[in-house]
Amino acid sequence: MNMTVEQVQGRVPVTILRIHGDLDGSNYQTVIAKAKEVYDAGARCLLIDMSDMPFMGSSGLVALHSIVKLMRSEPMPDPEAGWEAFHDIGREQGAGAQPNVKLLNPQPKVDRTLDMTGMKSFFEIHTDLQAAVNSF
């Protein structure tokens, strides 16, 4: 897995984090660290491009949730806390789509994972890049 970051201008500056490859237990902390890096550099609107991510494991859900918390300037859950991180996700799912973190083009397996875990209601999901950028 590798990542690229791009800054684009919509109504507001939008940072696009493109994930290439699977997001799983071997690399989810790297994704969180990259999100923290762009947040520390001033990013406040993040679009996660999943167009080239064929698989996301349960640890990917922890990464996505951690990124949402980061972008809301809230303390991130301890990724080593195991089930507590999933309980934290469950408690927040009813909050609706997050305004500062959106998803682009989740692939079929990733989309099923988001759907089965109830995370689709937690994110605004787009299939068109320009529409996604304009949505912030």
At CA 27, angle to CA 41 and CA 5, rounded to 5? 35
Tens of pLDDT, residue by residue, the chain (136 residues): 999 999 999 999 999 999 999 999 999 999 999 999 999 999 999 999 999 999 999 899 989 989 999 999 988 877 666 555 555 665 665 566 789 999 999 999 999 999 998 888 889 999 999 999 999 9
Q: What CATH topology corresponds to 2-134? A: Transcription Regulator spoIIAA (3.30.750)
Q: How far is CA 131 from the centre of its chain?
A: 17
Nearest Cα residue to 50 out of 31, 26, 76, 30: 31
Three-state secondary structure string covering 53-104:
CCCECHHHHHHHHHHHHHHCCCCCCCHHHCHHHHHHHHHHHHHCCCCCEEEE
